[in-house]
């Protein structure tokens, strides 16, 4: 594929994503989704004790228009340690279900969409990407979105960050396997040993990149001999650089497990 064709493919790919995010009122759609399905999913993944406390807080806010105090929560839970209560509250806050105004006696309220969005970013899962050789088309699929903590994009511009779902095992030694979400910054500034997403003849591939004097080598990271390097000409450009990986993401399982 000629260098110009690559540029056209990448430009079209990028602008299609930005067009989707900015012209279809994604924020409004996701706000409704958060207030409904997403919040219910968060509640469903609580432990029994966490849900019991969350329901109690919700009932107090609904009936009395006031949140319970720490002492009231301790009595409800049947514990004497106020620290135990605050640990549960910290857990619910981390999971995006409540917001606490610290140093206030009744400073608990239910989290809203706007609360969650202050520390998160919404990205489209735009394609699957093959970790095997030339097996997955780079189709522009925008029917799935993921809300990520901003830490996952490492200070990058969210409009330049995309999510791919990994398919295949040729990058297993790099910790990238089928089902993983691969967070990718769209950039041409990559160096040898970087993990990249490359688009070749409409195929999206995840590989380690290496440079030789006259070629670009897309190297699998697996001990399995069936996976072979792909060698491209020196002027070949990648779609972007892998900046983080979320392991085996199914969209329904809890990613953080707690002892409480």
Q: Per-residue pLDDT tens for 14-33?
A: 443 433 333 334 445 555 55
pLDDT tens for 70-90 read 999 999 999 998 899 989 998
Q: What is the pLDDT of residue 146?
A: 82
Query: Within the chain, which residue ranges are assigned CATH 2.10.109.10?
Result: 119-246
Q: Is CATH 1.20.1600.10 the classification given to domain 30-116?
A: no
Query: Within the chain, which residue ranges are assigned CATH 1.10.10.10?
Result: 30-116
Helix axes 26-33, 3-23, angle to 10 degrees: 60
Average pLDDT across the chain, whole number: 77
Indicate whether 37 pLDDT > 60: no
- Catalytic site residue 234? no
Q: How confident is the model at residue 118 (pLDDT cuts 50, 70, 90)?
A: low
Out of 42, 95, 195, 207, pick the active-site residue: 207
Whole-angstrom CA distances from 42 to 34, 37, 226 are 10, 9, 41
Indicate whether 192 pLDDT > 60: yes
Q: How confident is the model at residue 260 (pLDDT cuts 50, 70, 90)?
A: very low
Tracing tokens 């200070």 back to the chain, one arrives at 155
**Which helix (H) or strand (E) covers residue 76, if one does?**
helix 70-77
Out of 67, 170, 195, 222, pick the active-site residue: 170
- Catalytic site residue 127? no
Encoded tokens for 82 = 């106020």
Give 225-230 contacts, CB < 8 A, sequence gap 24+. Answer: 227/132, 227/133, 227/169, 227/170, 228/133, 230/133, 230/134, 230/200, 230/205
Contact assessment for residue 228 and residue 185, using Cβ atoms and an 8 Å cutoff = no
With pLDDT > 90 as the criterion, what percentage of the chain qualifies?
31
Encoded tokens for 226 = 């069936």
In whole angstroms, give the CA distance from residue 177 to residue 213: 31
Contact assessment for residue 100 and residue 80, using Cβ atoms and an 8 Å cutoff = no
Contact assessment for residue 61 and residue 109, using Cβ atoms and an 8 Å cutoff = yes
What fold, for 119-246? Umud Fragment, subunit A (2.10.109)
Helix ranges (H only) for 81-133 are: 82-94, 113-117
């Amino acid at each position: 594929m000629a260098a110009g064709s690559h540029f056209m493919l990448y430009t079209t790919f990028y602008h299609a994503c930005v067009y989707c995010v900015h012209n279809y009122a994604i924020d409004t759609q996701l706000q409704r989704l958060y207030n409904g399905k997403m919040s219910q999913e968060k509640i469903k993944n609580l432990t029994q004790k966490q849900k019991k406390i969350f329901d109690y807080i919700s009932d107090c806010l609904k009936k009395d228009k006031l949140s319970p105090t720490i002492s009231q929560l301790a009595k409800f839970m049947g514990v004497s340690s106020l620290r135990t209560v605050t640990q549960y509250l910290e857990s619910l806050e981390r999971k995006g279900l409540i917001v606490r105004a610290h140093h206030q006696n009744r400073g608990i309220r239910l989290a809203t969409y706007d609360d969650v969005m202050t520390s998160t970013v919404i990205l489209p899962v735009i394609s699957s990407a093959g970790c095997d050789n030339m097996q997955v088309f780079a189709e522009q699929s925008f029917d799935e979105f993921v809300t990520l903590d901003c830490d996952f994009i490492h200070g990058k511009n969210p409009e330049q960050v995309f999510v791919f779902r990994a398919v295949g095992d040729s990058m297993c030694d790099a910790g990238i396997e089928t089902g993983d979400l691969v967070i990718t910054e769209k950039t041409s500034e990559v160096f040898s040993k970087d993990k990249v997403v490359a688009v070749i003849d409409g195929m999206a591939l995840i590989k380690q990149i290496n440079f030789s004097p006259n070629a670009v080598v897309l190297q699998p990271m697996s001990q399995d001999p069936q996976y072979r390097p792909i060698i491209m000409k020196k002027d070949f450009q990648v779609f972007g650089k892998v900046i983080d990986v979320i392991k085996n993401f199914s969209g329904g399982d809890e990613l953080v497990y707690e002892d409480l």
